[in-house]
Amino acid sequence: MNEPRPPDPNWPRYAPRPFPPYRFVPGKTPHPRRAPRGHSYGQPEPKPPAFPPEEWEKSEDYLYGIDLYNFAYWWECHEVFEGLWHAVGHQTQQGHFFQALIQLAAANLKRFLGNATAADKLARSGLTRLQSIPPIYMGVEVLALSKDVREYIDGSRTYPPLIRFQHHNLVT
C-alpha cells in the first residue's frame, strides 16, 4: 500500500475544499512542494489567518485541517495546522492545541511508515499537550480524542484516532 487509507471513509466532512489527488508519504509518493509532480508544486506554503478560538466554525482552514487529518492526509494536515500554529502563537492555548494536532498527525504518519518508536513518542507529546486543553475546545471532544490516542498507543485500538466535533454543520 503506497498511502494510508482513512479509518472511516464515511466520516463526515466539515469543509468544502477538495482533497489533494494523493496523500504524501515520504519515500513513496512525490513530495508535494519540491517534486515537479507534487500536488502542491509551485504553490506557497499555507499561511492561514489567526482566528479567535470561539470562532473556530468560521475558519475554513481549521475545518479543512480536521478533514485532512480524519481522511489520512497527515502530512497535508500537518502543513495546515503548522500554519495556524504560527499564526496564533506558539505559547497560546490555541497554539498548544494546534501543536498537539500536528504531533498526532505526524505520529500517524510515522506509524504508517513502520516507525512505532517515533510514532509513540509523538503521540505521547501530543497527548501531554492535550491535557492542558479544556474538555471541549474549538468544537473538538478533547477527552474522547485523548482516550482514543491512549488506546492507539497501548495497542487496544488498531486504527488512528479520529477527531470528533461535539456538534457542527456538516458539508453535504
Q: Which domains, and CATH codes, for the chain?
A: 56-154 (1.10.3450.10)
| pTM (predicted TM-score) | 0.94
Residue 4 burial (CB count, 10 A): 19
Q: How much is the pLDDT for 170?
A: 55
Q: At what angle do helices 93-112 and 74-88 cross, to 10 degrees?
A: 160
Question: Cell for 13?
Answer: 466532512
CA 145 – CA 151 distance, rounded (Å)? 10
CA 141 – CA 139 distance, rounded (Å)? 7
Name the nearest CA neighbour of 138 among 5, 14, 9.
14
Q: How much is the pLDDT for 172?
A: 45
The alpha carbon dihedral of 124, 126, 132, 133 has a sign of negative
Q: How much is the pLDDT for 15?
A: 95
Low-confidence ranges of the chain (pLDDT < 50): 172
